[in-house]
Amino acid sequence: EIKRVSIEGNIAVGKSTFAKLLQNAGQDWEVIAEPVSKWRNVDQTTPTVDGAQPSSSNLLEMMYHDPKRWSYTFQTFSCMSRMRTHLQPLAARLMQSTGTPVQVYERSVYSDRYIFALNMFELGCINSTEWAVYQDWHSFLVEQFGHRIQLEGIIYLRASPQTCMERLGRRGRMEEQGIQLDYLEKLHTKHEDWLINKSTKVHFEHLVKLPVLVLDAEVEFEKDTKVQDDLLTKVTDFFRVL
Ligand code: DTP
């Protein structure tokens, strides 16, 4: 028996920092990092082509630079890498665990659809044909994989768009420099609608009743051990009742 939980939250809210905290805290917890490095480095070398030089492209950069052209492509790639992540077998060291092991992901195929892809569609960066195609294969794949791709819970790291904007500026990831507060506000609303207000129309039954742990990420938790302990206690209690 294994439990699967995703960490959700706006861009730069601190999911990776939080994920590391979890990784170091629980012996029965395995955190699988978000595959962002893959999106920044899409391998283009086809093994069949003689003498091909290794080359790669930065799909994250392309998407932010020309969203109308590249959003749909980006969504196919990010969702595929998340599917792979969710399907990854449990780490060997957790197989013998006496407790209930928990696999934790940074975001999920569900936030891909109900946060990012939906937002891109509403912004007009994905047109209605692309949106129909996306939704068709997304539903098909999630249904086909069944319980293997279902979550038992969600941790929502919640902070204001302003705070996320500040953290985004501080981390200085090159591709994200053009992101405006307005974009983070839209993503924030999408998180709130999906996880708090429950007004987002979802297409998978297990999502409707999925337990959500809301954590206040407004406070800086990176260096404050008191805050970290408090967060970890909440997570431990949450995992226990899933
Ligand atoms: P953290 O909370 O750790 O700071 P983050 O920067 O939001 O995390 P990500 O590594 O999740 O974490 O995201 C990397 C970038 O990719 C970021 O600019 C947001 C973007 N992104 C992720 N998923 C999607 C998606 N499905 N569509 C569009 N952009 C996405």
ipTM score for this prediction = 0.91
**pLDDT greater than 80 at residue 35:** no
Query: Per-residue pLDDT tens for 59-106?
Result: 999 999 999 999 999 999 999 999 999 999 988 888 888 888 999 999
Catalytic residue selected from 106, 152, 175, 218: 106
The DSSP code sequence of 107-160 is: S-HHHIIIIIIHHHHHTTSS-HHHHHHHHHHHHHHHHHHGGGG--SEEEEEE--
By percentage, how much of the chain surpasses pLDDT 70? 96
Q: What range defines the domain where residue 185 resides?
A: 6-39+57-241
Mean pLDDT (the chain) is 93
User: If you measure from the C-alpha of residue 11 to the centroid of ligand 1, how many angstroms do you get, rounded to a whole number?
Assistant: 5
Q: Is 168 in the pocket of ligand 1 (CB under 6 A)?
A: no
**pLDDT number for residue 226:** 94
**pLDDT number for residue 55:** 76
Burial class of residue 43 (count of CB atoms within 10 Å of its CB; 0-12, 13-18, 19+): exposed
**Residue 51 located in a structural domain:** no
> Which pLDDT band holds residue 155 (cuts at 50, 70, 90)?
very high
Mention every residue, 6+ apart, whose C-beta is less than 8 A from residue 1.
Answer: 100
**Residue 47 located in a structural domain:** no
Active site residue 152: no
User: If you measure from the C-alpha of residue 33 to the centroid of ligand 1, how many angstroms do you get, rounded to a whole number?
Assistant: 12
User: If you measure from the C-alpha of residue 64 to the centroid of ligand 1, how many angstroms do you get, rounded to a whole number?
Assistant: 11
| Total count of domains within the chain | 1
Query: Per-residue pLDDT tens for 173-220?
Result: 999 999 999 999 999 999 999 999 999 999 999 999 999 999 999 998
**Residue 173 located in a structural domain:** yes
Q: Check which CATH number belongs to the domain holding 197 and give it.
A: 3.40.50.300
Query: Which whole-number Å values give the CA distances from 185 to 162, 180, 193, 201, in the listed order?
Result: 8, 9, 12, 20
